[in-house]
Structure 1
Amino acid sequence: MLQTEDHPIKTIMDLSCLLRRAMEQEMEEFKLSSIQSRILGFLWYKRNHHEKAFQKELESEFKIRRSSVTSVIQGLEKHGLVERRSVSTDARQKELVLTEEGVRVQRQVIERIEEMEKRVNGWLSPEEREWWLRCVNKIETGLKEAEYD
């Protein structure tokens, strides 16, 4: 068994898997995968900032392939949470828009995420949270400087 203190990448990946699993359990009631809930959140942000959202943005924002984005959007459309609308300036381009049901679900998703954030924050002291975020940001910066983003 690997000692986690000698393998920060393994530790972070294990934590990521646990967090993804926990989020999927939280989203199970809504029949959303973690990527679907993240995309809903992105569309929510765009909506609240009066910005249009397009599939191409999702590809770069979430670092996933076009085919994966298409599949996720189709699933969200099937659940009545998102719709594609034609853009008057370019008939080939489709804007992604939350439906009323998508807005309702996203509000509930936000409540769940905030509850989970409170739970996680409760496990750490303010000093530990600050230290943890500094470490994570340092690793992220290093990866970007090494051109892994």
Structure 2
Amino acid sequence: MKNSLGIAIQKANNALARDRDQFAKTLGLTGRQVSAINFIADHENERDLFQRDLEHEFNIRKATASSLVTAMVAKNLLIRVPSTTDARYKRLLLTPHARQMAQQIAAFFATSERRMQTLLADQFSLSIQSLQQISQAFTATPTMQHSKKP
């Protein structure tokens, strides 16, 4: 396929991930850790956050989220504390060490977002909506489409 949307999305995602990973390396972190810190810092004052929130936000599997959280606890970036409503669930809280980095991380993501807005100009909102539609459609409908016979 000469003009494949899927390949274009994959290339753009790879470029963004490499940019994020390079930044993360300057902090001694991984790209996923930087993204998780940013997400938690943005939402921790709104509600309790749990591992399942990371799974949902980043569209990752339970095992991947578990490995991420375990590594972040080991690196003194996160602590797990019992939920205020159900002690079986563990809330995720940033440590003071991660909180110090959160402002730098937020500034990095804000700069990236501004770069994308500048590049896409009038198409920015439409691009977000289109990518959200694709993500929802392909997340909600597994590859069952491929196994149907005509």
TM-score normalised to the size of structure 1? 0.78
Q: In structure 2, which of residues 95, 101, 121 is the aligned counterpart of residue 99 of structure 1?
A: 95
Q: Match for 1:59: what amino acid?
A: E
Q: Do structure 1's residue 31 and structure 2's residue 28 form an aligned pair?
A: yes
Whole-Å separation in 2 of the counterparts to 1:64 and 1:142: 16
Corresponding residue pairs, total: 142
Match of 1:65 among 61, 65, 84: 61
CA distance in 2, matches of 1:10, 1:60: 24
**Conserved? CA contact 2:80–2:93, under 8 Å:** yes
| Structure 1, unpaired ranges of 5+ | none
Runs of 5+ in structure 2 lacking a partner?
143-150
- The residue that corresponds to 1:56 in the other structure is 52
> Aligned partners of 1:142, 1:93: CA distance in 2, in Å?
30
1:147 match: 141
**Aligned residue number for residue 115 of structure 1:** 111
SS of the residue corresponding to residue 89 of structure 2 reads strand
TM-score normalised by length of structure 2: 0.78
Q: Which moved more, 1:85-94 or 1:29-38?
A: 85-94
Q: Percent identity?
A: 23
Of 18, 22, 33, 1:21 maps to 18
Cα distance, 1:97 vs. partner?
0.6
SS at match of 1:14: helix
Offset of 1:17 from its aligned partner? 0.9
RMSD: 2.4
SS in 2 for 1:48: coil
Partners of 2:50 and 2:27 lie apart in 1 by 23
CA–CA separation in structure 2 for the residues paired with 1:90 and 1:131: 40
Shift of 1:16: 0.8
Q: Which residue of 2 aligns with 1:82?
A: 78
Q: 1:89: Cα distance to partner?
A: 4.9
2-side partners of 1:136 and 1:90: how far apart?
35
Q: Distance in 2 between matches of 1:45 and 1:15?
A: 24
Change (3 A) 1:14 1:41: same
Per-residue CA deviations over 1:56-106 (Å, capped at 9, x if unaligned) read 332233232222212111221222211111335544322111111211111
Distance in 2 separating the partners of 1:20 and 1:54: 24
Q: Displacement, 1:142?
A: 4.7
